[in-house]
Amino acid sequence: MRTRSSLRALALLGGVSALALTGCPSPSIYGTARTVPRGQMQQSIAVEGIGATSSGASAFLPTLPTYQFRLGLADNVDLGLRVANLSSLGGDVKINLLRGNFDLAVDPGIQGIYAGAGDASVGLLWMHLPVILGFNLTQNFSIIATPGISYGAYFAGDSSVRGDRTTYSTGGFAGRFGVGFNLRVNNTFSVQPEVTALFNTSTESVLYTAGVGFQFGAHPDFSDVQ
């Protein structure tokens, strides 16, 4: 006979499995606080996994990779477009406010997925607002921290009952914190392992992603770092 904690672990594993297959949040930035130079482009691919802990139970599963494209819009602003876990679309705008041995940026973003089959439909929406703190230890290595808040919403609809569409939605805020290590191999390639967690205080649960991002193309200039 299974214990209650075992049943919780199985339920958590099932929930993480569903997230790993469809529309799980992809909050890690895989980049620095500094933006891609104006008019230049950067691409990245991240190998990721997603995990959760709740009521003493925990689970972790790998996900499909995340692809990201960044374009420099201004000296301190760039645009990011991503296909999170090759299943949902997202975008963000990074604004770099300070540069030096310490960098500061804000990076509001959104991610969503929608699917419908017959009379039923479902949608997931994530909105992220991280503050990016960059501690540049050398011209080639930075520690990245990303405190902030996120909001997640779930929508579902069914019009199979007498042609009347019934809908259901729920959502809530979560605190977030991430840490990464950006190693710049040269001017066109860098590697960044990163872990980002979302904290839901109402349910005392934690959802987190862990991955390694590989960035190709234009990179910010760190020649000013002492």
Where are the alpha helices (H) located in the chain, listed in sequence order? 4-21
Lowest mean pLDDT among 49-53, 80-84, 127-131: 49-53
User: Is 161 a member of any domain?
Assistant: yes
Pair 68, 46: CB distance under 8 Å: yes
From the CB of residue 96, how many other CB atoms can be counted at a distance below 10 Å?
23
Q: Note the pTM of the prediction, 2 decimals.
A: 0.84
- Predicted confidence band at 12 (pLDDT cuts at 50, 70, 90)? very low
User: Is 91 a member of any domain?
Assistant: yes
Q: Domain range holding 169? A: 4-217
> How many domains, in total, are found in the chain?
1
User: Is 226 a member of any domain?
Assistant: no
User: Is 222 a member of any domain?
Assistant: no
User: Is 31 a member of any domain?
Assistant: yes
CATH of the domain at 85: 2.40.128
Residue by residue, DSSP assigns 94-150 as: EEEEE-SSEEEEE--EEEEEEEEETTEEEEEEEEEEEEEEEEESSSSEEEEE--EEE
User: Is 223 a member of any domain?
Assistant: no
User: Is 30 a member of any domain?
Assistant: yes
Task: Pull the structure tokens for residue 221.
Answer: 């200039």
Return mean pLDDT, the chain.
85
